[in-house]
Homo-oligomer: A and B are copies of this chain.
Amino acid sequence: MLTHAAEDYLKSIYKLQEKVGKVSTGILAEYLNVKPASATGMIKKLKTMKLVSHERYQGVTLTDAGRAIALEIIRHHRLLELYLFKALGVPWDGVHEEAEKLEHVISEDVEARMDEFLGYPTADPHGAPIPDKNGVVIKTTRIPMTDLRERQSCVVAEVSDTDSALLRHLGSFNLYPGTAFRVVEVAPFEGPFTIDVAGQQVVIGREVAKHVFVDDVQDPDNV
């Protein structure tokens, strides 16, 4: 069996691979809040287990076996988040931290029961896709909110799950996955977005908008 630390490394390598492509030791260490030397050590260990490929100074890549484990952990995490949210009413800005601890200890049996209870869901409370039991992830188009132009409408698809304060902020405007909004105004010089959510006008700073991803972008009818 893998240690929790090893599982966290595999999960992080997977996420960074998705986000930035090549995963260097330094990037990985920064992401995990450890020193580069520690990352080197774990990478060597994972390599002996054939879970990653690695050539000195060239970055890490997951092997098929490593990716399978990474996706399993991510599935645990996201199912747990949704379960805590729906079954126990844990606020969405708290589920990430909680799931982070539980993902390493939950059994496949309990996971399957939660999956059934939730009706085999495909996204967590932040809109992130839940890999299925075989590690298959459904990828959908996700446009950063910062790409939107004035008068476009769209639906929130996903938001970053790590910053609890950001989530409370977005929650206060009802900006959950599934919520539709329309861009009223984009202030010039990288300024904030004014949007219309269910008839209410709300100002979203650019730094916040960078963490919101949308779907179903529609240009105004009267062009």
Q: Quick check: B113 and A107 within 8 Å, CB to CB?
A: no
B contact residues around A117 at 8 Å (CB): 88
A84 CB–B CB distance under 8 Å: yes
Q: Quick check: B87 and A87 within 8 Å, CB to CB?
A: yes
Residue in A88, A98, A117 with the greatest tally of chain B CB atoms within 10 Å:
A88
User: Which chain A residues in 82-103 approach chain B with CB under 8 Å?
Assistant: 84, 87-90, 94, 98, 101-102
Residue in A107, A114, A117 with the greatest tally of chain B CB atoms within 10 Å:
A107
Count residues of A near B (Cβ-Cβ below 8 Å): 17
Give A52 Cβ to nearest chain B Cβ, in Å.
26
A114 to B106, CA, bound (A): 16
Give A39 Cβ to nearest chain B Cβ, in Å.
24
Q: Quick check: A109 and B87 within 8 Å, CB to CB?
A: no
A2 CB–B CB distance under 8 Å: no
Residue in A89, A98, A105 with the greatest tally of chain B CB atoms within 10 Å:
A105
A110 to B76, CA, bound (A): 17
A94 to B112, CA, bound (A): 14
Chain B minimum-CB-distance residue to A4: B105
Give A89 Cβ to nearest chain B Cβ, in Å.
6
Chain B minimum-CB-distance residue to A101: B105
Chain B minimum-CB-distance residue to A114: B88
Chain B minimum-CB-distance residue to A104: B105
A98 to B113, CA, bound (A): 13
A153 to B131, CA, bound (A): 53
Q: Quick check: A88 and B101 within 8 Å, CB to CB?
A: no
B contact residues around A87 at 8 Å (CB): 87
Q: Quick check: B114 and A107 within 8 Å, CB to CB?
A: no
Binding site for B on A (CB under 8 A): 84, 87-90, 94, 98, 101-102, 105-107, 109-110, 113-114, 117
20 contacts between A and B (CB under 8 A): A84-B110, A87-B87, A88-B110, A88-B113, A88-B114, A88-B117, A89-B113, A90-B109, A90-B110, A90-B113, A94-B109, A98-B107, A98-B109, A98-B110, A101-B105, A101-B107, A102-B102, A102-B105, A102-B106, A105-B105
